[in-house]
Amino acid sequence: MFVLVNLKAYPCDPVAVAAAASEVAEEYDASIAVAPQAAHLGAVTETGAATWAQHVSPVEHGSHTGSTLAEAAADAGAEGTLLNHSEQRLKLADIDASLDAAERADLDTVVCANNPDQIAAAAALGPDAVAVEPPELIGTGTPVSQADPDIVTNAVEAAADVDPSVDVYCGAGISTGEDVVAAGDLGADGVLLASGVVKADDPRAALEALVEPL
């Protein structure tokens, strides 16, 4: 199971969280990545943690002030990028263009979506993975695998019907190892989470609790 920790814009020490993720990943032979703010990509990469951008813009080199250029994210050490998170929605054409940008920069990609129908549309664009995240559950501590497991199983089926090579991740409310195991039991290949680790009193302990049952 792949665990992607999105630091969002929370008031945390991104280097400390990333260092803990790197240590836990090595100790438990787990696949853990951290997605910090763009300005912190380089510092997070230096911890040895697998590092993802929170977003890359649907642009090429040129006059695009304020954009997150995929090549710049890659140069800073990013291995992949989130796209279309519910807090950074994109039009379908922009998702496609951001995927092209990520491909140019050799970044792995996961496209977020709200429901199985959107998962199917996202999978058709050819990302490496899609992630189903009902926005009403984000940050609640109630995992989608518990609140509405059919969303996860239907998302897995929807993606497989379009392109079986696209992995499916489960997000929204993930905070415990039981949540991660439940997501896997429903067919998910990984999980996205944020507050369960970033807001924890001890992020390392929270990460250990996530991967220990795997």
Residues belonging to the active site: 85, 133
User: CB 84: neighbour CB atoms within 10 A?
Assistant: 27
Specify the 3-state DSSP secondary structure of 53.
strand
Tokens representing 199?
């807001």
Specify the 3-state DSSP secondary structure of 60.
coil
Question: Distance between CA 4 and CA 149 in Å, rounded?
Answer: 20
CB 30 within 8 A of CB 177: no
Single-letter amino acid code for the residue at 66 = G
**Is residue 203 within a helix (H) or strand (E), and if so which, with residue range?**
helix 203-211
Helix, strand, coil abundance in the chain, percent, nearest 5: 45, 15, 40
CB 28 within 8 A of CB 207: no
User: CB 12: neighbour CB atoms within 10 A?
Assistant: 16
Residue with tokens 């703010």: 37
